[in-house]
Structure 1
């Protein structure tokens, strides 16, 4: 706890500097020397009021309007900075962000707001977050209902370059400023390749198709985008996308899980398979649910035409000593083949918000979920 406060305190002392370094000169001087790596640019900066070296920073701008920076502090601690002109934030406000790397590892982090349009996320040296960042090729950030995507090409050279900047300025002062960019051969060699996809273990958990899908970053990112759209359009209460440590062990292939106050679920991409249609996907899912239920079990499945597209639906209800819930599945054809599978699991009691709000009937809730699923798919 003391270490975390120290890191946050150090970052706090650099807030004005960081804003200046990423947005333009104000209370900071620099860059001294240079860093230029795959679209990232920066160098060393000093605090204008004291003249002391305060950080090495490299940033990149994206078409979405967001500016993304990586900070290396004199103590060799790290942080990420996000700046967006469309944000209107309050100082000290907590800012939840879901960071996902290569569509595999997800982290629910809490950024700290340091200006109306800037959020800082500490990355302690020994954290799994910085390890994931170092190894990743892509990163997505889900915040305030928006999904931002970042190309992390070059970070295998960028991070050693920032470390080189800190090391040289710490040792020789600003007179040592130069081109800090590390040569690829010296940048801790090659970026590690993503771990191979592991075979999905046998499980009776709900919604696991019998044939495991490939655990590809592309499918994971596609699922993340659709899940983000879905939880917004469904107007769920306090929704959150689950990180790698929270989601079910079996949900590794092209799947993203979420939870809200009165519902849980996931979105999963089912790649094309020969002679497999939507009803078979629904039957497999319901079969898994039946094996998992130790008590009273009811199920149904059907198909319907929505805007000239066949949508497959499945339902299962389980009442046993462990749970009493209803799972609804919506299976939509995917443009590039295969299916997009939505799952919504709610308790058997009426769905609603409480607090004096009128409860929805289950039919109304299902209609809302189905509409949210349909409209969350890019047309």
Structure 2
């Protein structure tokens, strides 16, 4: 415990020393230590920072600045990061959507990433149980229990609003630091595009007997998908239309899929890249979750003519089953896109 406290103090020193920061006040919210900082040259309030150490060796940090921008920070004592280097990552809360970010090393031990001005994300973290983070630059995968974050974020926001005041009784807050637009999800246009695309691909792949599910019949974990179909006795499939403004690079999509499936699996997890087809515009990967009721998922990711990507998934009992269907779907999808 002493070592964790020392690590936390070292982290706060690294965070603030380069920014001419002086401490205004400090208090605790559960396992989180919260500190308000001012610029020691101007005396003006700078930011409020909350920090919690984890027994895994990581420290998690949230901060809200004087202009109400908020950030997520991670540190670890055995990191030796180049100063100001960029670090890409995928993250999600519980079974929520996978998001992507880029952090900057403000010391050799600490990466800080500004979070989007997003009401949904703020409330997900406030109400969530587990934060999952997957580095897109390495194999590093992190899992953090979000203990006391509801009270902590309420007090952190109150601290940014009133840095000289005393902590208030913990209370829920419906707002992130500022207003924002809601996260992007399926629209009527993308649903229509997905159903049309999937119909052409499945028919061309020789897959019959598929039935598209109505939005209210789609399982909760697939609500973000634009079209979902079922094949009696075979399994379930889906397609997501990831327009240019909805997602990022193929590498980030690949990492996000692996991270999301790994976090959902309650048994032994495995993943891999399926044998590549000749067309370089698409790739095929799979995940396997070994439990009493195990399942496997095959993904086909390919470029969308209008920008962005399509992601087609097939879920079944075994990797051999879904990879066989996935190979046929990949060939058909590439042919469908090429014919447009």
Question: Under TM normalisation by the shorter chain, which class is it?
Answer: 0.5 to 0.7
1:147 counterpart residue number: 141
Please give the secondary structure, in 1, of the residue aligned with 2:117: coil
Change in Cα spacing, 1:162 to 1:247, as seen in structure 2 (3 Å) is: closer
| 2: CA distance, partners of 1:35 / 1:208 | 56
1:187 counterpart residue number: 172
Change in Cα spacing, 1:253 to 1:147, as seen in structure 2 (3 Å) is: closer
Please give the secondary structure, in 2, of the residue aligned with 1:269: strand
Change in Cα spacing, 1:197 to 1:161, as seen in structure 2 (3 Å) is: farther
Give a deviation string over 1:330-375, Cα, whole Å, max 9, x none. Answer: xxxxxxxxxxxxxxxxxxxxxxxxxxxxxxxxxxxxxxxxxxxxxx
Give 1:95 shift.
Answer: 0.3
Which of these residues, 5, 12, 15, is aligned with residue 21 of structure 1? 12
1:242 counterpart residue number: 256
Q: TM-score if structure 1 supplies the norm length?
A: 0.49
Contact persistence 1:239–1:261 (CA under 8 A): no
Give the gaps of 5 or more residues in structure 2. 1-8, 175-217, 238-250, 277-282, 301-317, 336-340
1:159 counterpart residue number: 153
Is the counterpart of residue 58 in structure 1 residue 38 in structure 2? no
2:248 counterpart residue number: none
Q: TM-score if structure 2 supplies the norm length?
A: 0.54
Give 1:23 shift.
Answer: 4.9
Change in Cα spacing, 1:210 to 1:253, as seen in structure 2 (3 Å) is: farther
Give the gaps of 5 or more residues in structure 1. 1-17, 170-175, 190-195, 212-236, 290-310, 325-379
Contact persistence 1:241–1:259 (CA under 8 A): no
- Structure 1 or 2, whichever has the larger Rg, is 1
Give a deviation string over 1:232-282, Cα, whole Å, max 9, x none. Answer: xxxxx99942269x999xx99759998799543232436534xxxx7xx68
Is the counterpart of residue 322 in structure 1 residue 333 in structure 2? yes
Give a deviation string over 1:115-166, Cα, whole Å, max 9, x none. Answer: 2222111123336543432332110212232112111121111111011111
Which of these residues, 184, 198, 202, is aligned with residue 220 of structure 2? 198
Please give the root-mean-square deviation of Cα atoms over the aligned residues, in Å: 4.6
Please give the secondary structure, in 1, of the residue aligned with 2:60: strand
Change in Cα spacing, 1:321 to 1:312, as seen in structure 2 (3 Å) is: closer
| 2: CA distance, partners of 1:260 / 1:55 | 47
| 2: CA distance, partners of 1:53 / 1:34 | 14
1:231 counterpart residue number: none
| 1: CA distance, partners of 2:87 / 2:161 | 32
Aligned residues: 231
